[in-house]
Amino acid sequence: MKGRLIVFTRFPEPGRCKTRLIPFLGEKNAAGLHRRMSALAIGAARDFCRKDPDWEIEIRFSGGDAEKMAGLYGPGLFRPQSSGSLGRRMREAMDRALSKGASRAVLFGCDCPGVSADLLARACGLVKKNDLVLGPALDGGYWLIGTGRTQEALFSADMPWGSDRVLEKTLAAARSLGLSPALLPPLADVDLPSDLARIFHSPLMADLPEPVISVIIPTLNEEKRLPAAIKSARAPSTEIIVADGGSADATLDAARNAGAFGVLSPRGRGTQQNAGAARARGRILLFLHADTRLPERFGADVIDMLSRPGASAGAFRLGISGSHPARGMVAFFANLRSAWLQLPYGDQALFVLKDVFEKAGGFPDAPIMEDYELVLKLKKMGRVRLASRAVSTSGRRWDELGFFKTLLINQAMIMGRRLKVGPKTLEKWYRYFKS
């Protein structure tokens, strides 16, 4: 008698799958990611069964129909899941397989990208020698269960399905039945926005229907510095928008040549960034200055910070390139301010969910300190998180103006703002102090 390897999945209908990821991905991307993860799981099962003819595959699905599922994943044995709780549906699928003559039944889901043919081979080998096999998930559930005889207690309606206590409760139920489960290596699943940080730079996230992160770069005569900034911002599911304020040089040509999308806007960094945000398709906005470089795999940091409880926005730590001897001191105090007061500035690559940005009203129509004003609004909406890694920002301001002069100008602008000095007056002060 052959064993039955059962894949549990769902038809990838936008809005009906991976719903907890929709705030970060959108409905189409969440469905696209689910489709890819299902294809990986089904592919792993087929790879294993090609090597071991004593096992056959059954794909249990919800939503859609067998014809649609076969159209997505290729021919095979597709059956709809029964109704009821997850436990009831799992037990029905395994009971049916065993009642139809399967020697063993092993069921697993599609939420763990780490599932492989080798792991499935290990599970199917263990289930021949053990009453019960479980594959723990790092979130407290399990990604696989295998047995030769189902027990109602393992799939009870009282089981807190979807919680971090499922594995604990299942092991307790197994002990009460006198079973000694064999455990597989634990795997990480992808259910929550925080889980996306682990896979953001993987092929799973490449070429989704829509970008996840929109990087917006305001420019004015930045043709020389811009290509390096764009290069640092390339990542899966990321679009790059250059919002230009009427450059006299070839900035927009440099943007297009580097693979970015150009937007013309009235001059003013806040105005330009708002114009870029209006054209953005991603659920996450990241505002990058043309003389700033993002760290490698920056998307994981962005997802990690924004998915933390209470976060309204985030930014990177400040790193300053160049030869000025005071750059380390400047970065230290900037990062101290950012962490303690939750006041990062624009040269730290601010990032925020687009709907939060819109609720905050976007950048103010101000000629100066637009980043400071936006961050003050975002602080009222939640915590402004600071990533552990740093961007690299050009030290040209400090090289051109000197350390103490730059510091005094920055402090004068902040003090003026707190004294409710108008933005146009502050701009005049700024230009006067710089001259």
Domain annotation covers residue 201: no
The reply to whether 189 and 229 lie within a common domain is no
In this predicted model, what pLDDT tens digit does every residue of 246-299 receive, in sequence order?
Answer: 999 999 999 999 999 999 999 999 999 999 999 999 999 999 999 999 999 999
Residues sharing a CB contact under 8 Å with residue 44, sequence separation 6 or more, in sequence order: 115, 116, 117, 119, 120
The reply to whether 274 and 392 lie within a common domain is yes
Domain annotation covers residue 203: no
Average model confidence (pLDDT) across the chain: 93
In this predicted model, what pLDDT tens digit does every residue of 386-430 receive, in sequence order?
Answer: 999 999 998 777 677 666 677 777 777 777 777 777 778 877 776
The last residue of one of the domains, among 136, 164, 193, is 193
Contact 11, 192 (CB under 8 A): no
The reply to whether 315 and 357 lie within a common domain is yes
Q: Find the domain containing 156 and state its range.
A: 3-193
The reply to whether 152 and 292 lie within a common domain is no
The reply to whether 215 and 272 lie within a common domain is yes
Domain annotation covers residue 198: no
The reply to whether 81 and 229 lie within a common domain is no
The reply to whether 216 and 166 lie within a common domain is no
Q: What is the pLDDT of residue 260?
A: 97
Domain annotation covers residue 330: yes
The reply to whether 238 and 302 lie within a common domain is yes
Q: What is the pLDDT of residue 14?
A: 97
Round to whole Å and give the CA distance between 347 and 287: 9
CA gyration radius for the chain?
A: 27
Cα distances from 357 to residues 3, 9, 116, 306, 380, in angstroms, run 53, 35, 40, 13, 12
Domain annotation covers residue 200: no
Judge whether residue 3 has pLDDT over 90.
yes
In this predicted model, what pLDDT tens digit does every residue of 152-187 receive, in sequence order?
Answer: 889 988 899 989 999 999 999 999 999 989 999 999
The reply to whether 145 and 46 lie within a common domain is yes
Round to whole Å and give the CA distance between 292 and 210: 25
Q: What is the pLDDT of residue 65?
A: 96
The reply to whether 175 and 266 lie within a common domain is no
Place of tokens 């309606």: 157
Residues sharing a CB contact under 8 Å with residue 38, sequence separation 6 or more, in sequence order: 7, 9, 10, 12, 72, 73, 110
CA-based angle 173:190:174, to the nearest 5?
Answer: 10
The last residue of one of the domains, among 127, 160, 193, is 193
Domain annotation covers residue 255: yes
The reply to whether 185 and 218 lie within a common domain is no
The reply to whether 188 and 226 lie within a common domain is no
Q: What percent of the chain has pLDDT over 90?
A: 83
pTM assigned to the model: 0.92
Q: What is the total count of domains within the chain?
A: 2
CATH number of the domain bearing residue 358? 3.90.550.10
Q: What region, left, alpha or beta, does residue 231 occupy, with left being phi > 0 and alpha being psi -120 to 50 degrees?
A: alpha
The last residue of one of the domains, among 193, 224, 254, is 193
Please give the helix or strand (H or E) that residue 216 lies within, else none: strand 213-219
Quickly state the pLDDT bin for 214 (edges 50, 70, 90). Answer: very high
Q: What is the pLDDT of residue 150?
A: 83
* Token digits of residue 251: 């900035």
